[in-house]
Structure 1
Amino acid sequence: MRFHKSESAFFVFIAVILAAGLVIFHAYDVLSDSTDALYQPERMAGFAYLAKLLFATGVLLATALVFGVFFIFPLIRTQVKEEGKLRAMTVSLSARSETLEHAALTDGLTGMQNRRYFDDALKEYLDEFRRIDKPVGLMIFDLDHFKQVNDTHGHDVGDEVLRAVAGCLKDMTRYHDVVARLGGEEFAVVAPNMDHDLLVKLAERIRKGIAAMPILSGNVRLKITASVGLAVWDRKESAEDFFRRADKQLYEAKRQGRNRVSA
């Protein structure tokens, strides 16, 4: 049976506690023998106090051992199992992608997943996470005033902006997140196992990352911003209703002035 790194580290921790306990037990035994051999009434109080300290330390180590075995280790084991499920799901999605026509699932301009892949992946993630009762987050990004970029600088520059945004999204998301271009200047990220607070923090980091991208058109540095709509799956709604709720938040971000996250 192979152990995860965190489990191996835990076993080392337990071994150290056991070793420390054995040393303390040995010291306690030696101290008891020394007390009997060198009986001096004026020093007995000090020996007795030291013996109590050793005994108390032993009790604390025993408590730490019990706490580690019956509380910490089950938590580690649960996290390892959840990570294994995420990896298995990712491998499954990757294998499924390879069995289908690559062009049918890939956006030709950015090289990322397209709307068809996104729709299928979103449904699969919701089905899987319904079984393990874990949250799923959804982010929808829309580039602000993108039409002006095409009209002012040309479609070649607009295409470069889209590729740069796609690269930013890939770099700032996790390996098991689904990152796709939905069409035009709209992108989406499915972020499994993320609650509301974590999803907002991630969306803010990506929004700031997009705004900070160095995109040049001749001697002009373009400033690209994005509005973001967020939703965390309520574990009941369909994929369509889930997407529609995030999309409404995207329009709310636009209504509030753009270049912001609405959740």
Structure 2
Amino acid sequence: MKSLLPSPQERVLLDGLLSGVCFLNTERLITYWNDAAEFFLGYRAEDVVGKPCCDWISGTDLNLVSFCSCQGSLESCIPASPISGTVPIVTNLRHRDGYWIPLELSSFPLLGRRGKVVGAALVFGSVRESRDLENRLSEMSQIAYCDALTNIPNRRYLEEKLQEALRLWEEERRSFVGVMCDIDFFKNVNDSYGHDVGDEVLKEVARVLSHKLRASDVVGRWGGEEFLILLKNISAEDLVRRLDRLREAIGATVIQSGMVEVRVTMSFGATEPRKGETPASLLSRMDDCLYRSKREGRNRVTFEPA
């Protein structure tokens, strides 16, 4: 197998993208699979790296559907020009859990010395953010994983993702941070403006949370005005900076409901898993951090390292 991998710096950039990225070498073997690709299709890098992309057509290996309909040479899935990529196409790709997702797919040549094509990069992502979210959540809702009001994952889905994240941390040391966040003084919104306005606030906060996080992150409604976020592979410094930006974005959002304009703020409590951690113990420490933010004035982030 001819290896084709991004440099360490390129890997940092690619893993931070919202689009899925897959590298193929000249033998049409997958050599790289980024975090967003795992998010969109559910397969981890170790599930697909080293496997022929054409196996995905017949389902003889991974029981997946190929990015393309060809089984020929590499040139059939890369553009003729080394300068620009193919015109994006919309295609359905099957998630590891069996459901179909409409995604926009482009391919680009990977060039070696003297401009020789040494592989291809396949880039896939949302057709449009709203359509992508609607389609993924449509599938989730069929198995009771969608919050009916906010159209983001619900508590049941989050509980399963938290258990999975803890298992991967224990078995493979895949780092993550759990974050519990809560709308400040939400009861006052309901009391002052009514529950219809309160519902609009919840929906808008859910929208901001969903759009401001990375594709590899998980966010959902835990219950009431509480939301849970799981962030993978993030440093303490980047975590606090990212949550502060999220907090500021929520504070700057004006929620319009009829003639009423409402602004809210949000408090955050974040922590990392420890040895022997259980979902209950991790959630308890998230709550402790959240209420520390509340006690210290609200509209703030409290992070407790492991």
TM-score (norm 2): 0.56
What is the one-letter code of the residue matched to 1:156? D
**Counterparts of 1:97 and 1:138 in 2: how far apart (Å)?**
27
Matched pairs, number: 192
**Counterparts of 1:244 and 1:97 in 2: how far apart (Å)?**
34
**Would you say 1:168 and 2:118 are equivalent positions?**
no
**Would you say 1:148 and 2:188 are equivalent positions?**
yes
Query: Does the aligned pair in 2 maintain the 1:138–1:191 contact within 8 Å?
Result: yes
**Counterparts of 1:145 and 1:126 in 2: how far apart (Å)?**
32
**Counterparts of 2:235 and 2:258 in 1: how far apart (Å)?**
42
Give the CA deviation at 1:261.
0.8
- Which structure 1 segments of 5+ residues have no match? 11-79
What is the one-letter code of the residue matched to 1:110? T
Partner of 1:118: 158
Give the CA deviation at 1:5.
5.4
| 1:128–1:89 CA distance, 2 compared to 1 (3 A) | farther
**Counterparts of 2:208 and 2:182 in 1: how far apart (Å)?**
14
Per-residue CA distance 1:36-89 (angstroms, 9 max, x = gap) = xxxxxxxxxxxxxxxxxxxxxxxxxxxxxxxxxxxxxxxxxxxx86x6477446
Residue of 220, 225, 232 corresponding to 2:272: 232
What is the one-letter code of the residue matched to 1:208? E
- Which structure 2 segments of 5+ residues have no match? 12-30, 44-94, 100-138
Give the CA deviation at 1:130.
2.9
| 1:240–1:127 CA distance, 2 compared to 1 (3 A) | same
Partner of 1:102: 142
> Where does 1:25-104 land on structure 2 (aligned, <5 Å)?
84=34, 87-88=37-38, 91-92=41-42, 95-96=96-97, 98=99, 102=142, 104=144
**Counterparts of 1:84 and 1:145 in 2: how far apart (Å)?**
39
Structure 1 runs, 4 residues or longer, greater than 6 Å off? none
| 1:164–1:97 CA distance, 2 compared to 1 (3 A) | farther
Query: Does the aligned pair in 2 maintain the 1:97–1:105 contact within 8 Å?
Result: no
Query: Does the aligned pair in 2 maintain the 1:135–1:195 contact within 8 Å?
Result: no
| RMSD of Structure 2 on Structure 1 (CA) | 2.8
| 1:95–1:216 CA distance, 2 compared to 1 (3 A) | same
Residue of 154, 173, 177 corresponding to 1:133: 173
| 1:218–1:106 CA distance, 2 compared to 1 (3 A) | closer
Find the structure with the greater CA-based Rg. Answer: 1
Partner of 1:49: none
What is the one-letter code of the residue matched to 2:170? R
What is the one-letter code of the residue matched to 2:42? S
Query: Does the aligned pair in 2 maintain the 1:139–1:203 contact within 8 Å?
Result: no
**Counterparts of 2:159 and 2:284 in 1: how far apart (Å)?**
12
Give the CA deviation at 1:219.
4.6
TM-score (norm 1): 0.65
| 1:101–1:166 CA distance, 2 compared to 1 (3 A) | closer
**Would you say 1:3 and 2:4 are equivalent positions?**
yes
Give the CA deviation at 1:192.
1.0
Identity %: 35
